[in-house]
Chain A
Amino acid sequence: MKPFTRWLASVAGAAALGLGGAAQAEKEPIKFALLQDFTAVYTFVTNEYHQGQRDYLRFVNETGGVEGHMIETIVRDTANEPQRGLEAYNRARREGAVLVDFFSTPVSRAAVNRVLDDEVVMITALHGRGDASEGETFPFIFPMMATYWSQSTVLADYIDQHQGGLEGKRIALVHIDSPFGREPMPILKDLAEKKGFDLRAFAYPSPGTEQSATWSDVRRYRPDHVIIWGAGGGQQVSVREAIRNGIRQENILSVVWLAETDARNVGGNHLKGVKRFEAVGTGTDHAVIQDIMEHVIEPGHGQGSASNVGTTYYNIGVATMAVAVEAARLAMQEFGAPLTGEKLRDGFRMIENFDARGMMPPITITADDHQGGGYGRVSAWNGEAWEPLTDWYSAHQDIVWEEIEKDAAGFREGR
C-alpha cells in the first residue's frame, strides 16, 4: 500500500508542478478538518453550524485568505461514532489538517489523547470536556466559548441579579440522563451552598421525547425557577411539559441548546418569555454576517439554505471559525508560513479581546485559560426572535475554575 500511495503522490505532485508552472504559483493552503455528525444525532444543529463555518471560510477566501493562504476544508460525516471520527481524523491529519472540529462530545472525548500526541489543534466549542479549559494539561484543545459549567453560573447569576435573588429559592435542574445532563450539577451544588438556595435535580431518560413522569415530580417540588438542560428534540418537550405543569415561561431558563427551530416546533407564542444562555449573538445585523451576505450568499456561493443565515447555530459556527481564522492570522504574522498545529496553538493563545466585530463576547485566550473567560448573556424569546436581556458577562469563575482544576488533575493522574 505504501509504495503505491507514494507513487500516486509523486504522480499527483508532478502533475501539480506542471500545472503550477502554467498557472500562478499559489501559496500553500491551510487545512481545517470539519469532521462532524450530519446523519445521526445532532441533525439540524450540525447543518446550521457547519453552514456557518463554511460560509465564513468562503468569505475569508473570497477576500484574500489568511495572509494570502486559502483555507481548505476536509469534511466527513462521522455519524457521532467514535471509530468513524477517529478514522476521519487520522486521514485528515495525514492530509495535513492543522485544526479539527468534531462538534460531537463522544468523538472529541475519544480523540483527546490523540490530538495531544499528534499536536493538532482541536476546537471543542460548546461540546467536549469542560476541563479542557485548563491549557497546561490540554495544550491543543480549545473550548474557546463558555463551558457548560460557566453557562450554569451565568444562568444562576441571572436569577440572582434580575429575578429576585437566589437565597431561599427552589431551583429545579431538569436534565437529560447522560453525562452532559449531569455536568452542571457540581457547580450548581457549590453555588447552592454558597448562595443558600435549594437545588434538586430531575433526570428524564434519553433521548427525551417522553418526560411527563419527570415533570409531575417537578410540579410537586414547586420550584421558583427551572433550568432545563438537554439538547435537540428533548428541549421542546421540556418547555412544553414545563408550561403544562404550571411553570411560567419567564421562570424557565435553558442551556445554550434552544434556538429558533425549537421555538417554531413548540409553536405559536408558547415559548414567549423563555430564557436561554447565549454564547454568540443571533440575527443578521452583525458586521460579520453582513459581510458574509455580501460576499458569499448574494453571489450564490452559500453552502445551504439562505434562510438559515443568522440563526443561533449558524452564528455559533461563524464565531468558531472567526476565532480560528484570527488565531491562524496571528500565528502566521508571528511565526510565518507554513502553519503547523503548534504555531496555530500559539496563535490561539495570542487572541486578546476578540469579539468577531461585536457578534460575540470579547474573549481572551491565554496559555492557562483556553475557555476565553466564560462569557455569555441571557436572552429571551419575544415571539419572533431571541432578544438579549443583559450585556455579556461571566459569573462565579472561581467555582468554575475549582472544578476545572480538579478534573484536569484527575486527567493528569489517570493518563
Chain B
Amino acid sequence: MFYRLSGIKHTRYASSRALWPVTADRRIMQVLVALALLAPFFLSDLYLTSYMLPWLIWTAAALSLTLLMGMAGQLHFGFAAVLAIGAYTSIHLTRAGVPFEFALLGAGLMSAFIGVIFGAAALRVKGLYLVMATLAMQYLVEWVIINVPAISGGAQATLSTPDVTFLFVPLQSDASLYYMALLWTVVVTLLLLNIKRTSFGRALVAVRDKDFAAAVIGVDPVKYKLLAFFAASFLGGVTGAILAFCYYQAVTPEQFGFNVSIQLVAMVLVGGLGSVIGAYLGAGFVLLLPIVLTNVLAFVASYEWMPISFNLIAHIPLMVYGALIIGVLLYEPLGLAKIYDNLRKYFVVWPFRHTQS
C-alpha cells in the first residue's frame, strides 16, 4: 500500500539498476535530503551545532570505517588515529598557506599513505591479530603527535584551525559549517552506495568472505586489501579534517584517543556491519543517545520527586545505555540497519503478511 510495487516493471537496465529502484524509497530519500538542506532554517542553533553537525561528521567517519570493516572485512581498531592524521595534516597545510580544498586532499592522501603502511600488516594477519596491528597504529600515531611539538602545537598541544573558505564560501557561520559537513557526508554516502555495485566493491566482498577463494577466482587479495585500506583511510583523513575545521575548531591529541576508535567500531557494529544506513543509525546511537539520556534524566531529576545524588544521576544513563547496547545486539545481532530493513519489509507488503518472493 505504501510502496505500491504492483505493476511496476523495469523496462530499462538504467531504471532497474538505479540506487533506489522503488519510487517510495526515492521519495523518502528526497524528503530526507530536503530536510537536511533546510535544517538551518527550522532547527535552532543548539540542535544544528550540537546534534546534526557532529552526527553527520561521525557518520562520515563510520561510513569510512564501514568500507574497511563491513565491505572488505578488515578489522581496524585505530581509526581515530586516521582521523587525527587528517586533522593535523589539514591544519598544518592551511597554516602554511595551502587553500583549504587542497588541504583536504592532502589530509586524505597523508592518512591514506600512513594507513596503507599499517594496513600492510593485513597481508599477513587476520582477525584479532589485525586488531593488534591496528591498535599499534593508534598508539604510535598518538605518541608521535604528543611527542613532536611541531605537530601538536607546542606546550599547550592545542592547534586552532585558521579561518578558511571552501570554493569561495567562508566557513565561519554555523550554517556554512553545517553545509560543508553535509556535503562531505553526502559525497561519502553516495560513494559507498556506488562502491557496493562496482567490480571494486564485489572484489572487496570476495576478499572479505574468503581471501584465498578470491585469489582462486582471480581477485588479487594483496591489491584489494591495500586498496581497501587506502580508500578507507583517505575518506577517514578527509573526515578528520572536516571534524577539525567544521566542529572542534581546535584540535588536541585527546580528541583522537583510543576510546574514539572504540566508539567508531561500536557505531559500525551497532548500526550493522557493512550497511550504509547502519552507519547513520549507529553514529546516532553511540554519539547522541548518551547525551539525550543525560538530558532526560536531568529533566526528570529537576522535579525532585526523590533525592538522588548527582553522582547517581550521572551514572544511570550509562546503565541504560549499556542495557540498550546489549538489548540491540541480543534482539537484532545484525544491528539497527536490520531493524530498519524489517520495518521496511513489513510495510512493503502491508496490510498483508507475506510477499510473493
Contact = CB atoms under 8 A, between A and B. Distances in A.
B154 interface: yes
Contacts of B156: 109, 129-131, 179, 183, 407, 410-411
A15 B238 CA distance: 50
Interface string B308-337: 011101110110000000000000000000
A186 B155 contact: yes
A91 interface: yes
Interface in B122-170: 143, 146-147, 152-160, 162
A179 B146 contact: yes
B46 A415 contact: no
Contacts of A106: 252, 254-255
A110 B250 contact: yes
A82 B315 contact: no
A40 B263 CA distance: 14
B35 to A, nearest CB: 12
Given A39-B315, A84-B291, A91-B295, A304 B309 contact: yes
A277 B267 CA distance: 42
B46 A38 contact: no
Contact of B155 (A50, A84, A185): A185
Nearest to A51: B310
A81 B253 CA distance: 12
B300 interface: no
Given A77-B317, A179-B253, A182-B146, A410 B248 contact: no
B249 A75 contact: no
For chain B, what secondary structure do more than half of its interface residues adopt (helix, strand, loop), or is it mixed? helix
B51 A414 contact: no
B297 to A, nearest CB: 9
A194 interface: no
B310 A75 contact: yes
A87 B298 CA distance: 14
Interface string A110-135: 10111000000000000001110000
B310 A178 contact: no
Main SS class of interface, A: helix
Contacts of B45: 90
B346 interface: no
B97 to A, nearest CB: 13
B42 A1 contact: yes
Interface in A141-179: 177-179
A407 B156 CA distance: 7
Interface in A65-95: 75-77, 79, 81-84, 86-88, 90-91, 94
Contact of A87 (B42, B50, B95, B155): B50
A411 B161 CA distance: 10
B176 interface: no
Contacts of B44: 1-2, 5, 94
Interface string A202-235: 0000000000000000000000000000000000
A1 B43 contact: yes
A50 B310 contact: yes
Interface size class of A (residues with CB under 8 A): 35 or more
A86 B314 contact: no
B274 interface: no
Contact of A110 (B42, B248, B317): B248
A140 to B, nearest CB: 15
Contact of B162 (A105, A407, A415): A415
Contacts of A415: 160, 162
B20 interface: no
B227 interface: no
Contacts of B315: 38-39
A318 B315 CA distance: 23
A94 B295 CA distance: 14
A371 interface: no
A183 B95 CA distance: 24
Contacts of A177: 143, 146-147
B155 A75 contact: no
Nearest to B255: A82
A290 to B, nearest CB: 24
B99 interface: no
Contacts of B42: 1-2
B50 A109 contact: no
Interface string B183-196: 00000000000000
A90 B318 CA distance: 22
Given A39-B315, A77-B294, A91 B154 contact: no
Interface string B68-104: 0000000000000000000000000001000000000
A8 B333 CA distance: 39
B285 to A, nearest CB: 14
A388 B172 CA distance: 50
17 contacts: A1-B43, A38-B310, A82-B248, A83-B247, A87-B51, A90-B46, A110-B249, A131-B156, A178-B253, A178-B254, A179-B253, A182-B146, A182-B157, A183-B156, A303-B309, A403-B155, A414-B95
Interface of A: 1-2, 5, 38-39, 47, 50, 54, 75-77, 79, 81-84, 86-88, 90-91, 94, 105-106, 109-110, 112-114, 129-131, 177-179, 182-183, 185-186, 303-304, 403, 407, 410-411, 414-415
Given A39-B315, A105-B252, A410-B156, 12 more contacts: A1-B42, A1-B43, A1-B44, A75-B313, A82-B248, A82-B255, A83-B54, A87-B54, A177-B147, A179-B146, A179-B252, A407-B154
Enumerate the 3 nearest inter-chain pairs by beta-carbon distance, A residue then B residue, closest first. Answer: A179-B157, A38-B314, A77-B314
